[in-house]
A and B are shown apart, each in its own frame.
Chain A
Amino acid sequence: MSERLSVLIAEDNAADRLLLSAIVTREGHRALTAADGQEALELFCRERPQLVLMDALMPVMDGFEAARLIKLAAGETLVPIIFLTSLTENDALVHCLEVGDDFLAKPYNRVILGAKIRAMDRLRRLQQTVLEQRDLIAKHNEHLVAEQRVAKAVFDKVAHSGCLNAPNIRYLQSPYALFNGDLMLAAYKPSGGMHVLLGDFTGHGLPAAIGAMPLAEVFYGMTTKGYGLADILREVNAKLKRILPVGVFCCATLINLSFHRRVVEVWNGGLPDGYLLRGGSNERIPLVSRHLPLGVLEPAVFDEKYEVYPLLEGDRLLLLSDGLLETRNHAGELFGEQRLLDLMAANEQRGQLFDEVQQALSAFRGETQDDVSLIELSLIEEARSSPLTFSNDGNDTPLDWSACFEFRAETLKHMNPLPYLLQLLLEVQGLRSQVGALYTVLVELYSNALEHGVLRLDSSLKRDVQGFAQYYGERRERLARLEEGFVRFHLELRPEHGGGRLIMRVEDSGGGFDLAAARACEQAAEQLHGRGLKLVSQLAEKSDWENDGRGVSVEFSWSAQA
């Protein structure tokens, strides 16, 4: 039935030793015998029997001492020790159970001894199973931790290729946030300004981290190529929907900060309210979740509509995942939304808010803030520090060509053509070092042509915050209704003194505008106004507005490469 055991019998009485040995052998086990404690210990160390029958009182070394040393030598393995004793006082019997595992009173009963050996063997095997399982679990865990370490190292490379260290960003994030499903990404746009994403995947561990990779790739890739928020959101949603199983999704807020244009675009799907805090007043605009999380909806019904707010110097944006609100203190209370609202209400210096929240959190919770992801963004005049780098492939591309693109109503409605133009122009090595200025000028001229030319929006609307919202609401509606109109880009590339020159003319189907008035308006521009024309004149080497205001041409040049 059960396996054959080696049983060590330590008994100073030779007759008893013989009797016990006979019983053990008849039970089907192998008997080893010792005449005193010392001998028993030596025999144990040599033969490693699975079970010990130990006389309590023996010469040289008594049974209690021998039992203690045998247990020590056995380590984690359970070697059951049954004391053989003629002692009857309670204290002595209790001592047997403290040092050993059971006792058997003399005179010996063959049936009882056999049963006790079987019972002790069950106990021994139970312990053995527990130890094996423990070691197996430890091994699995070790594997898992090693895998996570590798995954984290790979992911850190991807995540940290962005610009979370930019001077206008402050953030709080656990080093293992990825495995809590939290994700924080920031990348410079070619036109200056940046995209920032705070995401929170369903669940924990590797399943939560798995969607982060493709999301980060799409976010960085498309931002670098000049795509806008709407395109990135559509692509990320479609990708996550396609690859993630049903029920796994990503709550996220995506932010587009435009330093030049001084606006912020916000899309929140499933994260708690973020906040736009005005620097000059107590005003606090909640950035509310108006969408389903990313990866839930089919691409056809996904809604990438974002909100647009003017952004002033000194304003702050605060984004958070639910880890902050769900932080608990020792008493089990939640940090909660109200504490955060109170902190913001009490805040006097916007520049201190981030520290105040962090301090309040530490004071509330005590030690580390493991599951908290918090990010603060502000506006700075120019945060760009050579955002894009290109490898020089050494092949000079043809520099003598011209092309004309006309984007008509249906295209204007549904896509942003600028990334395509930018990709085309960046084929020209000499323009790559000017990518920032070039893209900013493209963006300004395109928005100008689209908004004022094709859609005939009045930029003086943007005089105050209310008008600002109205302006962008109107923009959305007019664009949706657009049936005709065009924006045309004429691109001409000419070789010049070993280098070259780009001449770009932009026209639109609008009625043109009064250049003098537009210039005057720009001069008096308040902070909320577009500063487009001025920016274009500053960034392009040459810029000419046609007198009817329907077209503009700009030039960029480069010299021979060293």
Chain B
Amino acid sequence: MAITSQASDDGQELTILIQGRFDFGAHQEFRDAYERISTSPKRYVIDLKGATYLDSSALGMLLLLRDHAGGESAAISLINCSPDVRKILTISNFEQLFRIS
């Protein structure tokens, strides 16, 4: 499990890259990725290219990020979802809360 984050040059966007299993074990690391940063981004991009697995705790963590990013007004995209990850997001109807591609 490795989570890295990268702010855009203008600091407006934060990209969080997830590698390996995205489950409860990633809890602290994921929070650190958006809490321990010096910028205050307006948009968030979660890159799931390297995520092999995602469980309901991960969905909970995404909701926490959404809350942190302003709840209803949060702009969060989930990108590079594998079919398996996509399926879990679809069953939970998370496309109502996040932009998924």
- The chain A residues found within 8 Å of chain B, CB to CB, are 200, 202-203, 246-249, 251, 269-272, 289-293, 296, 298
Closest A residue to B24 by beta carbon equals A203
The answer on a CB contact under 8 Å between B92 and A293 is yes
User: Which residues in chain B, 37-74, are within 8 Å of chain A measured between CB atoms?
Assistant: 56-57, 59-61, 63-64, 67, 72
User: Which residues in chain B, 72-87, are within 8 Å of chain A measured between CB atoms?
Assistant: 72
The answer on a CB contact under 8 Å between B63 and A271 is no
Residue of A246, A269, A272 touching B93 (CB-CB under 8 A): A269
The answer on a CB contact under 8 Å between A272 and B64 is no
Residue of B63, B92, B96 touching A251 (CB-CB under 8 A): B92
Question: Within the complex, what minimum Cβ distance (angstroms) separates A242 from chain B?
Answer: 14
Across-interface contacts of A203 in B (CB, < 8 A): 24, 56-57, 60
Alpha-carbon distance A202/B61, docked complex (angstroms): 11
Closest A residue to B63 by beta carbon equals A247
The answer on a CB contact under 8 Å between B93 and A290 is yes
29 A-B pairs whose Cβ atoms sit less than 8 Å apart in the complex: A200-B56, A202-B56, A202-B57, A202-B60, A203-B24, A203-B56, A203-B57, A246-B63, A246-B64, A247-B60, A247-B64, A248-B60, A249-B59, A251-B56, A251-B91, A251-B92, A269-B93, A270-B91, A270-B93, A272-B91, A289-B90, A289-B91, A289-B92, A290-B93, A292-B94, A292-B97, A293-B92, A296-B63, A296-B97
Closest A residue to B66 by beta carbon equals A246
Residue of A246, A247, A248, A292 touching B92 (CB-CB under 8 A): A292
The 9 closest A-B pairs by CB, nearest first: A247-B60, A247-B64, A246-B67, A270-B92, A202-B56, A247-B63, A202-B60, A292-B93, A289-B91
Across-interface contacts of B94 in A (CB, < 8 A): 292
Alpha-carbon distance A116/B93, docked complex (angstroms): 65
Across-interface contacts of A271 in B (CB, < 8 A): 91
Alpha-carbon distance A292/B61, docked complex (angstroms): 15
The answer on a CB contact under 8 Å between A289 and B93 is yes
With a 10 A CB-CB cut-off, give which of A247, A290, A293 has the most chain B CB atoms: A247
The answer on a CB contact under 8 Å between A247 and B93 is no
Question: Within the complex, what minimum Cβ distance (angstroms) separates B83 from chain A?
Answer: 13
The answer on a CB contact under 8 Å between B92 and A202 is no
Across-interface contacts of A202 in B (CB, < 8 A): 56-57, 59-60
The answer on a CB contact under 8 Å between B91 and A247 is no
Alpha-carbon distance A296/B92, docked complex (angstroms): 10
Across-interface contacts of A293 in B (CB, < 8 A): 92
Across-interface contacts of B67 in A (CB, < 8 A): 246-247
Closest B residue to A326 by beta carbon equals B55
Closest B residue to A337 by beta carbon equals B87
Across-interface contacts of B24 in A (CB, < 8 A): 203
Alpha-carbon distance A520/B92, docked complex (angstroms): 47
Across-interface contacts of B92 in A (CB, < 8 A): 251, 270, 289, 292-293
Closest A residue to B95 by beta carbon equals A292
Alpha-carbon distance A58/B60, docked complex (angstroms): 69
Across-interface contacts of A298 in B (CB, < 8 A): 72
Alpha-carbon distance A292/B91, docked complex (angstroms): 8
Closest A residue to B60 by beta carbon equals A247
Residue of A248, A249, A292 touching B96 (CB-CB under 8 A): A292
Question: Within the complex, what minimum Cβ distance (angstroms) separates B3 from chain A?
Answer: 16
Alpha-carbon distance A145/B37, docked complex (angstroms): 40
Q: Contact mask B7-32 → A, CB, 8 Å, 1/0?
A: 00000000000000000100000000
Alpha-carbon distance A248/B94, docked complex (angstroms): 14
Closest A residue to B68 by beta carbon equals A246
Alpha-carbon distance A374/B66, docked complex (angstroms): 32
